[in-house]
Amino acid sequence: MRHFGLSHRRTLAVATSCMIAAQPRSASQASELESSRQSWQCKICFAREVDAGFAGCGHMVCVACAAGLDKCPVCRKRSALIRLYK
Ligand SMILES: [Zn+2]
Ligand SMILES: [Zn+2]
């Protein structure tokens, strides 16, 4: 019981710090830039920009993640992967 209470409290602390990080106090321009950058971020590894996509559903991942996938990780639809060029 004591262990559960500790881990629960830590989860709360992490969630709170995430909320603070997600809300910059100033510069709407900076957050706009950040959100446009995030829209290109791979939703699987969060480390690379997307440069591959599933032809059937249009969801995008990076080529490093796409290499190990045979279907879309977002909607689980099976379709051909295509390379994306910006
Ligand atoms: Zn990735
Ligand atoms: Zn999909």
34-81 pLDDT, tens digit per residue, is 887 778 999 999 999 999 999 999 999 999 999 988 899 999 999 999
- pTM (two decimals): 0.57
Average pLDDT over residues 8-27: 57
Domain ranges of the chain: 33-83
CA 43–ligand 1 middle distance (angstroms): 6
Distances (CA, A) of 86 to 23, 49, 50, 51: 29, 11, 10, 8
Q: Quick one: DSSP state of residue 52?
A: E
What is the CA(15)–ligand 1 centre distance, in A?
24
**Domain 33-83 listed as CATH 3.30.40.10:** yes
Provide the pLDDT for residue 41. 92
